[in-house]
Amino acid sequence: MLWYSGATGGTGSLTAPVPNTSIPGSTNYYVSETASGGIQIAINGFADNRTPDLFSFVTLTDIPAGTIIYFTDNGWNGSAFRGYPGTGLAGSEGLCKFRTVNTISAGTNIISYSTSPDYVWVSSGQISIQTGTANSFSQLSLSQSGDQVYAFMSSDSTNPIGTITKHLFVFDDTKSFEPATTSSEGAIPPGLSTADGTAITLLGFIDTASQHLANTGTYLSVINDGQYRSAAQWYQYIKDTTNII
C-alpha cells in the first residue's frame, strides 16, 4: 500500500504516516493498493565465493508475464537503500532487474542471471539517461564477510530504488538486521518481518550455505536448520512453516 498527503498526484510512501498529536485539528491522508497484488517470492540462498556471485529465489505464487522484480545488495538504512540518492540510482552497491516473458508457475526456482525463454535478467547498462557506474545495472557482488539480498517492485523503471511499491523479501547471512551504515549491514524494510518469514537471516551456516549453492546450483540453504532442499522441498517448507503462502 502507498500513502499520500493529497487526494491526487504526489509520490506515495510505503510507511504509514503518524499524525502530530500535539497540534489540534484534523489531517487527511490517502492510501492506495499497489498493482503488485499478491506476488510473493522467497530468496533462498546465495553464493559469495564465485564469479559471478549468485543468488536464487523460488516463486511462491504464479508470477504473471511482464512482471518486473528488482534485486539489490544495498542495505536498508531505515528509510531507504544505502547510498540512494546521493551516490546514484543504483545506490552504493549493485542493482539488477528480472522480467518475466511468460507466466512463471509457483514453486519454480530461479538462479540469478540464468537464461530461459520465460524470463530475462538485466545486469548491465544504464538505469536511466544518467551515466556512470552508480547509475547502471550490475551483477551483485556479495561479500564473504556478510551481506544481504533484497527483492522489491517499483513503479518507475528509470528510478526503481526511488519508487518502491512493494518490498518482497530480504535474505541476510550476517545473523542480524541493523540499519545499514556499511556494505555488510542492512535493516528490514517496511512490509517485511522475521515473524512472517519474509526477512530471513542465517544463524551459523554462512560458509556451508554459500559453498553448497556454489557447488551444486540445485539445492539451497534453508533458514536456520542447516539442511538443504530442492526447490520443490523448499517451497513446501515455506508453506509449512511461515505465513507467506
Left (φ > 0), alpha (ψ -120 to 50) or beta: where does 73 sit? alpha
User: Cell numbers of 125, please?
Assistant: 547498462
Q: From the CB of residue 172, how many other CB atoms can be counted at a distance below 10 Å?
A: 26
Picking from 33, 73, 46, 42, the residue whose alpha carbon sits closest to that of residue 166 is 33
- φ, ψ dihedrals at 206, nearest 5°: -65, -55
User: Cell numbers of 85, please?
Assistant: 540518492
Secondary structure E strands in the chain: 2-4, 30-32, 41-47, 54-59, 68-72, 95-100, 109-111, 119-122, 148-154, 164-172, 199-201, 220-221, 228-229
CA–CA separation, 14 and 11 (whole Å) = 10
pLDDT tens, residue by residue, 179-215: 999 999 999 999 998 877 788 876 543 344 443 343 3
pLDDT tens, residue by residue, 35-56: 445 898 988 777 777 788 888 8
- φ, ψ dihedrals at 191, nearest 5°: 90, -10
Q: Which of 73-82, 173-182, 234-243 has the lowest mean pLDDT?
A: 234-243
pLDDT range class, residue 18, cuts 50, 70, 90: confident
> What's the helix, strand, coil split of the chain in %, to 5?
10, 30, 60
CA–CA separation, 38 and 61 (whole Å) = 8
Q: What is the pTM of this model?
A: 0.74
- Residue 99 has a pLDDT of 96
User: Cell numbers of 160, please?
Assistant: 526503481
DSSP state of 81: B
DSSP state of 83: T
The answer to whether 132 and 88 are in contact (CB under 8 A) is yes
Q: Which of 69-83, 84-98, 218-232 has the lowest mean pLDDT?
A: 218-232
